[in-house]
Amino acid sequence: MAPDCRALESNSPIRLPPMSENSAARERKYSIVLYSDDVTVREAVIGALGSRVAPDMAEHVIHQFATAPALRLFVDGKKPDSDSPIDLFILDGESVPEGGIGMARQLKDEVFNCPPVMVITGRKEDAWLAAWSRAEANVLHPVDPFTLSHTVADLLRARTVATNATA
């Protein structure tokens, strides 16, 4: 019997090192807020993101909203030091009567340390509106699953790095 195999063959429990803060943060599910008045857009986004946006990242939970007032109530109810903070907003710029671009600007103006915002716009020419809203990213309708998941992964990674740097 090789000396390295004894621990595996014995009945004694295997002791693992304690989890570091980084691994604990990695295990927490990301919280993504999705706003669109169109159920097909919400379904397309949810389908594109799957259960995780990249193999090296934790799973996520998506909170869906079809109206701006419902989204505001949810955001207002979140505490800054909550155990499940919002990690990303995905807003449909084509929503009516209140579009995601205006909502993005309002979130950036009113939410302290606002998480990253991604806006889905109808035309490439609307990129300037997304920039005006101070959204960190902009993708186009119809939703391309590859582009969307990579953009979301980049935004969540940047948020994780920034959060760990300030902690």
Residue type, 112: F
Q: Which of 17-31, 65-79, 143-157 has the lowest mean pLDDT?
A: 17-31
Q: Report pLDDT digits (tens) over 14-48.
A: 544 444 444 444 578 999 999 999 999 999 999 99
Q: What is the pLDDT, as a whole number, of residue 101?
A: 97
For residue 96, the Cα-to-chain-centroid distance in whole angstroms is 23
Domain 28-166 sits in CATH at 3.40.50.2300
**Which has more pLDDT, 16 or 94?**
94
Strand partners, 88: 32
- Look at the block and give the residue holding tokens 């710029």: 93
Q: What is the C-alpha separation between 153 and 78, in angstroms, rounded?
A: 23
Residue type, 109: D
